[in-house]
Amino acid sequence: MRMMTRRMFATAGLAAVGTTVLSACSLTPRNAGQSQDTTSGADASPVAEATLPGAEVGDAEPVEDGLLLVTGGTFSMGSPEDEPWRVADEVQHDVTVDDFFLSPLEVSQADYNRLMGKDGGSSELPIAGITWYEAVAYCNALSAEAGLEPAYAIDGDLVTWNRAAAGYRLPTEAEWEYACRAGTTTPFNMDHSPSAEEANYYGHYPYEIEGNYFNQDVLETKPGVYRGEPIASGSFAPNAWGLFDMHGNVAEWVWDRYGAYDAKTTENPTGPESGELRVNRGGGWNDFAKNMRSAYRASLTATSSSPSVGMRVARSSVLREDVVGGAASGGKVAGKPLVVFFSWSGNTQLIAKEVASQLGVEAVEFVCEHPYSSDYNTCLDEAQRDQNQQARPALVTQIDDMDQYGTVYLGYPNWWASIPMPIATFLESYDFAGKTILPFCSNGGGGLGQSVAAISKLAPAAHVGQGLSIHYSGGSEMPGEVKGWIDSQGPQD
């Protein structure tokens, strides 16, 4: 991989710590007047020409798209092993990224719907509920409108990225984390954990509440408001490089497929070349604080969407003459439907029975060798302990001849914003390669939380479809919601 062209687009701008404002902003942050000082220690006066180390001055093209120029560098990607609520896939390794352009704001519904000809309204709220494929299609549409060479070639479910193109694209996972951190090495891009007045998330669950649920006085950041919806991007102070909402509001699709970090590819990594899962970063309005840490990695199948996952656009500053993207996804195996579930207080069981009845099969319940306590507070503690330790509670229930099944309808309650650990035991006990997993989740208001991301990571060779979220047992509307969900998945063999 050889760098062929080094091109600089920047003209007039403001030099700031690590970033340079590229041009007159067409995107106006809502709190532009109350931003934190991003220029301390740097020359804040307008400069005639942004100077980048190694850039070929004179090859500049003016752009007026409001993106910020993020000056490249080397940083420690991932989290240290002692970071609270760290996940094992956040292995720390040094990564270098080139200069790139990144939007300070998340893409709005107004911008997305106008360009893509959708009816979804013209709100300033961030677009969400789009698949990864829709996100890359938006990037290409934006390039077409701007007269730029598109970054992506889209052929069915195969998407390749031409790194010689100057068009709009998603940031890579490394670029995203580099930009989010803005030079910080702490769990969040500020010197404390964000309150609900500093980021839009499930504010009842600030950082480290899990271990202190019954002793909240010791928390650095106390529980705050849960808005239950996205708000206009730019409503809070930006990070030190002028980027808004890197923590919370909507999580953001990035280019990379999900997989273990490749410690050998330390320069401008672009992720695995195969797999169906794509990463999204930063957490959203319904995530606990621990799941919007700078290093936290969420993933969903590229064809899935979530009401708390949206996007932000990037462009290359350094163009490379290669194409990355890899292989199309593997085929699906055919077979009978299997309905399995774990339920503590019966809600998931009701839903599972409805799913099974509509499919004309029996639902199978997971029974643990050591069941969780029937006392609610004790169960909260036990469930959180298991999640913290990534335990794999032993199951009495075994599935005979898993090969006969093609689609697994998997039911569980939302526990601490994710799956109960018996579901992890199940997913690690069988080979799901080529099978489809359709998750359904009963919850007390947190929706699917990070449960679908957790399932995707535990069964990376499966096709994990769109999940169904049901509030508690769903009431009289539940059978209709189940039917709509099953029908929306298309025919399953």
Ligand X SMILES: Cc1cc2nc3c(=O)[nH]c(=O)nc-3n(C[C@H](O)[C@H](O)[C@H](O)COP(=O)(O)O)c2cc1C
Contact 219, 84 (CB under 8 A): no
Q: Which of 383, 424, 438, 468 binds ligand X (CB under 6 A)?
A: 383
Q: CB of 228: closest distance to ligand X in angstroms?
A: 11
- Closer to ligand X at the Cβ: 280 or 347? 347
Under rule CB under 6 A, residue 379 binds ligand X: yes
C-alpha–C-alpha distance, residues 152 and 137, integer Å: 8
Q: Is 373 in the site for ligand X (CB under 6 A)?
A: no
Cα–Cα distance for residue pair 228/163, rounded to 1 Å: 38
Binding flag, residue 416, ligand X (CB under 6 A): yes
Determine contact, residues 187/293, Cβ cutoff 8 Å.
yes
Asked if 210 contacts 416 with a C-beta cutoff of 8 angstroms, the reply is yes
Do the strands 277-281 and 336-341 form a parallel or antiparallel pair, or are they unpaired?
A: unpaired
Part in contact with ligand X (CB under 6 A); list of ranges 109-117, 151-159, 319-327, 409-417 = 409-417
Nearest-5° Cα angle at 312, 74 to 222? 80
Q: Does 340 bind ligand X (CB under 6 A)?
A: no
Q: How far is the CB of 473 from ligand X (least distance, A)?
A: 7
Distance between CA atoms of residues 378 and 362, nearest Å: 31
* Residue 339 binds ligand X, judged by CB under 6 A: no
- Stretch 442-461 residues interacting with ligand X (CB under 6 A): 442-446, 449
Helix-helix angle 376-388:421-429, to 10 degrees: 50
Torsion of CA 74, 78, 82, 88, to 10 degrees: -150
Q: Exposed (0-12), middle (13-18) or buried (19+): which is 421, by Cβ within 10 Å?
A: buried
**Placement of tokens 């600030």 in the chain:** 206
Chosen residue from 75, 138, 236, 344 binding ligand X by CB under 6 A: 344
Q: Of 413 and 460, which has the nearer Cβ to ligand X?
A: 413
Is residue 346 at the binding interface for ligand X, with CB under 6 A as the rule? Answer: yes
Q: Is 391 in the site for ligand X (CB under 6 A)?
A: no
Binding mask 61-100 for ligand X (x = CB under 6 A): ----------------------------------------
Q: Which of 130, 410, 417, 438 binds ligand X (CB under 6 A)?
A: 417
Q: Which of 380, 391, 395, 399 contacts ligand X by CB under 6 A?
A: 380
Q: With CB under 6 A as the contact rule, which of the stretches 60-68, 183-191, 327-335, 438-446 interacts with ligand X? A: 438-446
Element (H, E) at 406: strand 405-413
Examine residue 413 and tell whether it contacts ligand X (CB under 6 A): yes
Query: Which listed range, 9-17, 100-108, 302-310, 411-419, lies at the site for ligand X (CB under 6 A)?
Result: 411-419
Among 20, 140, 200, 414, binds ligand X (CB under 6 A): 414
User: Residue type at 476?
Assistant: S
Whether the CB-CB separation of 393 and 386 falls below 8 Å is answered with: yes
Query: What are 235's two structure tokens?
Result: 């409503």
- CB-nearer residue toward ligand X: 376 or 396: 376
- Could you list the residues that contact ligand X (CB under 6 A)? 343-348, 379-380, 383, 413-417, 442-446, 449, 472
